[in-house]
Chains A and B, each alone.
Chain A
Amino acid sequence: MQSILHKFRRQSVKFNIIILSAVLLAVIIFSVSVGSAKLSFAESLKLAAAKLPFAGRFVDSAYLGTKYETIVWKVRMPRTLTAALVGASLSLVGAAFQGIFRNPLADPHILGVSSGAAFGATLAMLTGAGAGFMGLGTVGIFAFAGALAVVFLVYSISKISGEISATSMLLTGTAISTFLSALISLLMTFHNDQIEKVYMWTMGSFSSAAWGKVGFLTLFAAIGAGILLMYARKLNLILMGDDDAKCLGIDVDRTRRHIIAAASILVGASVAVSGVIGFAGLMIPHCIRLVAGADNKKLMPYSFLLGAIFMTLCDVAARTVAAPTEIPVGIITAMFGAPYFIFLVLRRRKGIVLQP
């Protein structure tokens, strides 16, 4: 293990990205092939392969029937891709936020995005409105809108005091987050019958994944991740201090604004399809830092891929460990993630360094 990590550190970025992508592909294939249905690993693989161009011609899966084709292609596949995209997005945002706020405790939900989403979702559940858009239900749309609205609000409030500092944004975010949580609890007191729905939603789950949502998520993840990855170099310079970055000709405020906007799109879209899933966004970037250092040109793409791998595996555990019952995936991410993270931190005596 030690030697593998050591090699990982010394390889070129391109090489490591190829390795991580290969692992991700393997994990996705694995995830599509396991589940609670009485379908063997090999049969699942056959069903998965049968629909692929070219390879499909050599596989005969017709004898398994359309029911199992539905399970592999309409239940497991969109679910796996959703988990991968959400894990990737949250981890990438975690890396970006920890950098931009120079705070190791920053996670994707720190600006109140998740409480905004939860508040939106709660409103949708209480009003019971029934329209849909881009594969999202009303709850998803309200959650997405709530998430973006809160970030905009936090940003605008922080701006009032003049210069936008990381501290003022984090404090405003925490305050608004707490306020919205209180508001949700208040709404719940008057609508007892909906408590369970809201509670289950906030626990996070990929169980309602469908191709429409995968499309929605892919679109926003591509935009958000593209922007964030483009800013990796500038983020490195900002981490050395605002003044140093300004001397090097970087418009710090503008960069920060763009990163926050892109990150919010990623988190908002993730929360809209899967509810609030904690911990991955906090932990994955730190794991990468411990192994490969804090250079954002490596940290960001690696976090993106490792986040996808981690979340996909967590979701496999969520739906198979106690099948036919399902465990909320947020419980899995925390229960498996936290001990491993502590182990990593303890083994590394120097601790985590945010500066590249």
Chain B
Amino acid sequence: MFSGTDLGSLYTPDIEKIISLEPDLVIVSTHFDEENAKKLEDLDIPVLTLYEEHDVTGVYDMIDILGTAVNRNAKAAECVSEMQSVIEEVSAAVEGLEIPSVYYVVGYGEYGDYTAGGDTFIGGLIELAGGNNIAKEVSGWNITLEEIVEADPSIIVISENDKEGFMSNENYADLTAVKNENVYTIDTNLLDRQGYRNAEGIRELAGIFHPEAFQ
């Protein structure tokens, strides 16, 4: 478990607290306010901004940059090559196998259906793992129920928390994957959070898509 000082939340970091700790480096990402970053820079605290990447290559760069920033280039290179070899292994294992159609659930139900479109990071991971994302035409996250029913995916991937609610929702009851119980759960941190764990995420996805190749 991570232990450390509470520095506020994602959207409202406690800038005073951060400054009082006199950090040598502050690493920030998408949701960090530019005004706050400027405040830190004005106090000569170096700020490294890493925005969301669009593919795994971007994650390699991200790890390299982090390695340089904390003087651990060798370790970073090792991480990257480990990731590369895992992903290469997966690609080799799923090579030539029949590609199943896949629906990845980001959100469902009362407030609409959300998935990872073809241009998203997760959409890319699904393709790398040897799946055919039914939402590859979608840009962003929003999809219509009609589209899902028409594509009728053979495999559905969802987070552990959402599975029960999804399975019992009458809107999805007629999907082949729901009827045949081809709805699989995954730790979405492996896919949502960009970093070293993405390789493991790809391997897990590939295991769901092609169980026969990973026995």
Q: Which residues of A contact B (CB under 8 A)?
A: 35-39, 66-68, 70-71, 74-76, 121, 130, 132, 135, 137, 139-140, 189, 192, 196-197, 200-201, 205, 207-208, 210-212, 275, 319, 323-326
Contact B171 A326 (CB under 8 A): no
**Which of B10, B110, B137 counts the most chain A CB atoms within 10 A?**
B110
Let me know if A201 and B152 touch, CB within 8 A. no
Query: Which of B105-126 touch A at CB < 8 Å?
Result: 107, 109-113
Q: Which residues of B contact A37 (CB under 8 A)?
A: 146-147, 149-150
Q: Does B96 sit within 8 A of A, measured CB to CB?
A: no
Is the pair B144, A74 in contact by a Cβ cutoff of 8 Å? no
Determine the distance from Cα of A135 to Cα of B140 in the docked complex, in whole angstroms.
Answer: 30
Question: Which chain B residue shows the least CB distance to A135?
Answer: B170
Enumerate B61-100 residues with CB–CB distance to A below 8 Å: none
Interface residues on B, range: 20 to 34
Question: Could you tell me if B146 and A76 are in contact, using CB atoms closer than 8 angstroms?
Answer: yes
> With A37-B150, A71-B149, A137-B109 in contact, do A325 and B174 touch (Cβ < 8 Å)?
no
**Cα-based distance from A29 to B4 in the complex (angstroms):** 61
Residues of the B chain whose Cβ atoms lie less than 8 Å from the Cβ of A137: 109-110, 169
For B146, give its contact among A192, A208, A319 (CB under 8 Å).
A319
Cβ contact within 8 Å between A208 and B144: no
Is B59 interfacial (CB-CB < 8 Å)? no
Within 8 A of A (CB), among B23-66: none
Interface code B127-151, partner A: CB below 8 Å = 1, 0 otherwise? 0000000010111101111110110
Please determine whether B144 and A319 come into contact, CB atoms closer than 8 angstroms. Answer: yes
With A140-B110, A192-B11 given, is the CB distance from A210 to B170 under 8 Å? yes
Report B's interface with A, CB cutoff 8 A.
9-12, 107, 109-113, 135, 137-140, 142-147, 149-150, 152, 164-165, 168-171, 174
Chain A residues with CB under 8 Å of B12's CB are 189
- Tell me which of B11, B111, B146, B168 contacts A36 (CB under 8 A): B146
Q: Evaluate contact between A326 and B149: CB separation under 8 angstroms.
A: no
- B138 A205 Cβ-Cβ under 8 A: no
Cβ–Cβ contact A212 & B143, under 8 A: no
Taking a contact as CB atoms under 8 Å apart, the answer to whether A67 and B150 are in contact is yes
Residues of A within 8 A of B147 (CB): 36-37, 323-324
- CB pair B150 A38 closer than 8 Å: yes
Structural contact, B138 and A210, CB atoms closer than 8 A: no
- B10 proximity list for chain A (CB < 8 A): 192
| B112 touching A74, Cβ below 8 Å | no
Structural contact, A205 and B112, CB atoms closer than 8 A: yes
- A324 and B137 form a contact (CB under 8 A): yes
- Taking the closest CB of chain A, its distance from the CB of B113, in whole angstroms, is 6
Closest A residue to B108 by beta carbon equals A208
A318 smallest CB distance to B (angstroms): 9
Known: A35-B146, A189-B12, A323-B147. 15 other contacts (CB 8 A): A35-B144, A36-B144, A36-B147, A37-B147, A70-B149, A130-B164, A137-B110, A139-B110, A192-B9, A196-B107, A208-B109, A210-B171, A275-B110, A319-B144, A326-B143
A274 to B11 Cα, complex, angstroms? 29
* B111 / chain A contacts, CB cutoff of 8 Å: 197, 200-201, 205, 208, 275
* CB neighbours of B164 from chain A (8 A): 130
What is the bound-complex CA distance between A75 and B107, given in angstroms? 18
